[in-house]
Amino acid sequence: MRNSTFPFLPKDFIQTKEGLIFAVVSYQDHDSKIGCFLRYVPDGDGWKKVDTQQANDLLQHSFPHYLYHSSKVDAAFHAVSLEDIVHHHQPELRLKELLQREPSDEIEKKCHKLIPVLQQFGVQIEKLGLTGSMLINQQKSTSDIDLVVYGRQAFQQTRLAVQQAITSGLIDKLDISLMQDNFERRNAELGFEEFSWHEERKFNKAAIENCKFDIGMVCLEDEHDPDPHHYQKLGPRTFKTQVVDDKRAFDFPACYLITDQETPVVLSFTHTYIGQAQQGELIEVSGMVERNISTGQCRVIVGSSREAAGEYIKVIRR
Task: Measure the CA–CA gap between 100 and 102, rounded to whole angstroms.
Answer: 7
Confidence of residue 304 (pLDDT cuts 50, 70, 90): low
Mean pLDDT, the chain, integer: 93
Quote the pTM value. 0.93
Burial of 292 (C-beta count, 10 Å sphere; 0-12/13-18/19+): middle
Overall average pLDDT of the 156-169 stretch:
97
Spatial contact of 176 and 293, defined as CB atoms under 8 Å apart? no
* CATH number, domain 229-317, options 3.40.640.10, 2.40.50.140, 1.10.10.10, 3.30.870.10: 2.40.50.140
User: In the chain, what are the domain boundaries?
Assistant: 13-88, 91-218, 229-317
Confidence of residue 310 (pLDDT cuts 50, 70, 90): confident
Instruction: With a cut of 90, say whether residue 230 has pLDDT above it.
Output: no
Output the CA–CA distances (angstroms, integers) from residue 192 to 16, 103, 189, in the order listed: 38, 35, 9
Spatial contact of 235 and 263, defined as CB atoms under 8 Å apart? no
Beta strands 211-218 and 145-150: pairing type?
A: parallel
Spatial contact of 229 and 246, defined as CB atoms under 8 Å apart? no
Q: What are phi and psi of 40, to 5 degrees?
A: -135, 145
User: Can you tell me whether residue 260 is helix, strand or coil?
Assistant: coil
CB count, 10 Å around CB of 177?
A: 11
Spatial contact of 39 and 21, defined as CB atoms under 8 Å apart? yes
